[in-house]
Amino acid sequence: MCLLVLTVAATSKLAAVADVFLLGVFSFGILPCLTVYVMNQAMGAPNLVTTLNVSALHISNAAGAWLGRLVIESRFGLPMVPLFASFVTMIGIMLLLGSMALAGNRRQCWGPTGCHPVDQ
């Protein structure tokens, strides 16, 4: 949402600064939630899954910079980078929701007692 607003807010310095601040808050706020989600899915290999999660974040950061360069060099230019980034974010949200929907054997992990099936 912040990326879509930034497409319009970029014309005003104050609105752009406020929007980028909110973008940072929401972006960094979601990371603990994603880490907990993948660790709950890991069951027997939480260290491996955490490493893969961080690696995926770094790869997506590099891919986002590469895609941003392509948008800037295209006929769309710099003002359309937030719009394209919001499309990529929507694709990521759809992949996350699809992953959660496919997780048929849901388990919840906490403390030393390990993982237990979630009552549905």
Are the C-beta atoms of residues 8 and 80 closer than 8 Å to each other?
A: no
Tens of pLDDT, residue by residue over 28-83, are: 887 888 888 788 877 788 888 889 888 988 998 899 999 999 999 999 999 899 89
pTM of full prediction above 0.75: no
Phi first, then psi, for residue 9 (nearest 5°) are -75, -10
Are the C-beta atoms of residues 83 and 71 closer than 8 Å to each other?
A: no
Domain range summary for the chain, segments of one domain joined by +:
2-103
